[in-house]
Structure 1
Amino acid sequence: MQTTLEILTHPLLSPIRHGFFTRKGGASSGLFSGLNCGRRSSDQSDMVQVNRARVAVAMGVQPACLATVKQVHATDVVTLAPGDDLERIREIKADALVTARRDVAIAVLTADCQPILLADPAAGVVGACHAGWRGALAGVIEATVAAMRNLGASQIRAVIGPTISQRNYEVGDAFMDEFLAEDPESERFFSGGPKGSPHFDLPGFGLKRLREAGVEAEWTRHCTYADPDRFFSYRRATHEGQADYGRLISAIAL
């Protein structure tokens, strides 16, 4: 079994420790083969713990200091303060974390949605955001940036990690109508697919929201759907009739 982790990084976040972890190097098997870090998946819980511990070691923190939240596709952001109980934090319903603590790594889980890692190295503030289409449209990106600024950040950089690309993100007309009703200016992020149905550019929309919030931002340009050897994908698992799917993890630490 391969045990070497594959960790994608981006120079925009340098010198901050960060990583968009692929599925390689994990202990899980079957549908979850590789580095499944989803506690809410139906994978064996001890394998998920092993995987998360490997991520923590790679990030230079103790396994108990890998901080995540219970993601719900909303806009709430947890500001991780000194002394906060990380076990309690893991049960809070939110979709982003920010912190100035140096003893933890904060992380989000994804399987097509956008994992966004943010940092202001000079201010010593980092953030991790889970932004699917619903959360991004509702404002989770802007909420994360605001929470970082409340901690003193001013020159924020952000990178969107592996997410589903427009080529593979076919949506229905009802989806597009609902989206445009909320944000009419986002029409340019929809294009016609090979069957005439619209395809949505999720990372393009995320970059727009980040840049409008005054954040320098890039996308790693990795598509989760298109590369099953490296990435878990909810949509691919659905198309293949699988009962469940693994979750990728993206983490950042001071």
Structure 2
Amino acid sequence: MAGLPVMIPHWPGLPANVGALSTTRAGGVSLAPYGDGQGGGGLNLGVHVADDPNHVAQNRARLAAMLPAQPAWLNQVHGVAVVDAASLAGTVPDADASVASTPGAVCLVMTADCLPVLFSSNDGQVVGAAHAGWRGLAAGVLQRTVETMRERGAADILAWLGPAIGPQQFEVGQEVLQTFLDGALDAGERQAFQAAFAAIAGKPDKFLADMYALGHLMLARAGVTQVSGGQYCTVSEASRFYSYRRDGVTGRQASLIWRK
């Protein structure tokens, strides 16, 4: 795809009438600490991170030039609200996912360690995108996105896990593990969720949480088993991705999907 140095998902089975991409921190005009990590301009897309608003506007314009329409920007709040990407008319609702069945409507979520998940029905008629930090995962944002797609006629649904914090970087406390265990439905699920948290030697009640494994588990609960992606680490790949856990003050990359 011409233009920005974006990532095109390796997503077996994605219908030909669906477009999808993830941005990196490269290709924009933002200055450090929102730059590209190598002394150049960064493609920060977040308006809420204290970057120069003019730089963010230029970055968003560069992205929009590659798309069939302006994407559906969301004010992400770590919740479970899902909106229609085609109905926003320039508004920015409090929501953490969007779906679309209208050709050209672009679903978009921003991340800087949280898990972005892109969805498509197997016939490409309904698409969606969800922002899933651990709170959103536990609360059911992925399941709610799948439910909304099914309400629009999606049967078999494919998912792609975009760039997120890797399983060797996400240290959490007992309360995070317990939140997921409290939501497990049976003994088998409880064991599976427990396995997604690796104990850290010398740190009682501290664990390394595997966001990708948690994403798989939550998608399976929603009946989605055709899942691709999940091989990145936003913390470790500093030259490619923004990471809040690594840098604190940083930008946001985006994952997008649309019907052609």
Question: Do the structures match in fold with TM over 0.5?
Answer: yes
Gaps of 5+ in 2: 36-41
Question: Which is helix-richer, 1 or 2?
Answer: 1
SS at match of 1:101: coil
Rounded Cα–Cα distance in structure 1 between residues aligned with 2:89 and 2:123:
25
> Residue in 1 aligned with 2:230?
220
> Residue in 2 aligned with 1:50?
58
> Residue in 2 aligned with 1:203?
212
Is contact 1:106-1:252 (8 Å) kept? yes
Displacement after TM superposition at 1:121 (Å): 4.7
SS at match of 2:123: coil
Rounded Cα–Cα distance in structure 2 between residues aligned with 1:87 and 1:194:
49
Q: Does 1:249 align with 2:254?
A: yes
Is contact 1:123-1:152 (8 Å) kept? no
1:39-188 matches, cutoff 5 A = 39-58=47-66, 60-62=67-69, 65-81=70-86, 84-88=87-91, 90=92, 92-183=93-184, 185=190, 186-188=193-195
Displacement after TM superposition at 1:128 (Å): 0.5
Partner AA of 2:52 in structure 1: Q
Is contact 1:79-1:147 (8 Å) kept? no
Partner AA of 1:66 in structure 2: P
Identity of aligned residues (%): 35
> Residue in 2 aligned with 1:241?
none
Is contact 2:100-2:106 (8 Å) kept? no
Rounded Cα–Cα distance in structure 1 between residues aligned with 2:256 and 2:73:
9
Over the residues paired in the alignment, what is the CA RMSD in angstroms?
1.8
- Once the two structures are superposed, residues 125-157 of structure 1 have per-residue CA deviations (whole angstroms, 9 ceiling, x without a partner) of 100100010001100000000111111111210
Displacement after TM superposition at 1:61 (Å): 2.0
**Inter-CA distance 194–219: structure 2 relative to 1 (3 Å threshold):** farther
Partner AA of 1:11 in structure 2: W
TM-score by length of 2: 0.86
Rounded Cα–Cα distance in structure 2 between residues aligned with 1:85 and 1:162:
26
State the number of aligned residues: 240
**Inter-CA distance 54–177: structure 2 relative to 1 (3 Å threshold):** same
**Inter-CA distance 178–118: structure 2 relative to 1 (3 Å threshold):** closer
Displacement after TM superposition at 1:195 (Å): 4.0
Displacement after TM superposition at 1:208 (Å): 1.3
Gaps of 5+ in 1: 239-243
